[in-house]
Structure 1
Amino acid sequence: MKVFAADCTFNYSWEEVSTANWRKYCPWNSKSTHVKAVDTLSRRVDPATGILRTERLITCKQAVPRWVTSLFGSDEYSYVYEVSYIDPVQKKVTMCSTNLTWSNVLNVRETVVYRPSRLCPATKTDFQQEAYFTALCSGWQKIKNKVEEASVERFRENAKRGREGFEMVLEMSRRVFGEQRERESQKIESS
């Protein structure tokens, strides 16, 4: 098993981040053009805790290393199953995802957490990301290590692009929806 971990702080409030999170695969995010569809499978609020639980299927079209397709074959699309929990009381978003495509060859489990920054909770949001990679080629340790190492490296590159793209979405959301909120506030004040 190999592990990838990253963290950063976004210069946006938790409210902005948790709202923009639903838009991170939108058309204006040029860093996520590989995401072709995001389908919501279920969504419900736990009446006792207020936690919103959402299940989604994410469809991606990605180039796969040649050596992987020569060994295991390839399909044009890959699929990821994601479950997210938004806790408005604790101000915490937790997203857990796992690959469905090639899960018999490589198991990837990712957890992402957004919460208000410990240093500036009103204006910044801490981001933590962990992913665990387990190749399922028993008896072939050299191949197993190669698959896991290549997967972590590719994930690292994609995670960097993902954060850059999310920054773009956050900025656009602040401009578009921030301006809209400001106009609505001005209407209320002038009434």
Structure 2
Amino acid sequence: MKVFSNEVTFDYSWDEVSTANWRKYCPWNEKSTHVIAVDTLERFVDPQTGILRTERLITCKQNAPDWLKSLMGSCETSHVFETSYVDPKEKTVTMVSSNLTWSNLVNVQETVVYRPYNDHQTRFEQKAEITALCGGWQRIKNKIEDTLVTRFHENAVKGHEGFETVLEMSRKAFAEERERLAQAQAMIMDGR
């Protein structure tokens, strides 16, 4: 098993980050063009804890190296199952995901947590455990795990850049919405 971990601080509040998280794979995020579809399978709020639990299926264009495709089979898409928990009291967003594609050959378990760093910044913590299930072929197993750790590192850089774009666009959209609301309220007050 190999482990990839990453931590980043975003210069946005937890409220901004936790809201923008749902737009991470939107069309104007040029760094997530590999994501073909995000399907929400189930979503509910626990009435006792207030935690929003969401299950999603994420479909991506396959981006594995050719040598790995030749070992595992060449498929055009891959699927990831994600369960997320938004805890408004503790101010955490926790996302746990695992690969469905090639899961009989490699197991990737990823956990991402967003939590406030201070009033204006949010901490992003990412950890992925990668296990190739190739039996006694240690050399091939190590090569697969190393390749996937390298991919996680490359994708983490792109993901951070893309999410910064989403956060900025979300901030602008919220500012415009607040301005429209203020104008509407002023018009209502003037009409009285």
Shift of 1:74: 1.5
Moved more, 90-99 or 64-73: 64-73
- Unpaired runs of 5+ residues, structure 1, are none
| TM-score, length basis structure 1 | 0.95
Distance 2:29 2:48 in 1: 36
Query: Which of 174, 178, 186 is the equivalent residue of 2:175?
Result: 178
| CA positional deviation for 1:188 | 3.0
Which piece of structure 1 moves more, 174-183 or 74-83? Answer: 174-183
TM-score by length of 2: 0.95
The corresponding residue for 1:156 is 153
Distance in 2 between residues matched to 1:186 and 1:91, nearest whole Å: 31
SS in 1 for 2:62: coil
Read off the aligned partner of 2:161 and give its amino acid letter: E
- The structure 2 residue matched to 1:166, chosen from 159, 163, 167, is 163
Identity %: 66
Aligned residues: 188
Larger radius of gyration: 2
Q: Report the 3-state secondary structure (helix = DSSP H, G, I; strand = E; otherwise coil) of the residue aligned with 2:98.
A: strand
AA at the equivalent of 1:33: T
Give 5+ residue unaligned stretches, structure 2: none
Q: Please report how far the alpha carbon of residue 184 of structure 1 lies from its aligned counterpart in structure 2 after TM superposition.
A: 1.2
Asked if the contact 2:51–2:86 (Cα under 8 Å) also holds between the matched residues in 1, the reply is: yes
1:15-74 Cα offsets, whole Å, 9 max, x none, are 000000000000000000000000000000000000000000000003221111111211
Three-state SS of the structure 1 residue aligned to 2:5 is strand
1:186 Cα offset (Å): 4.4
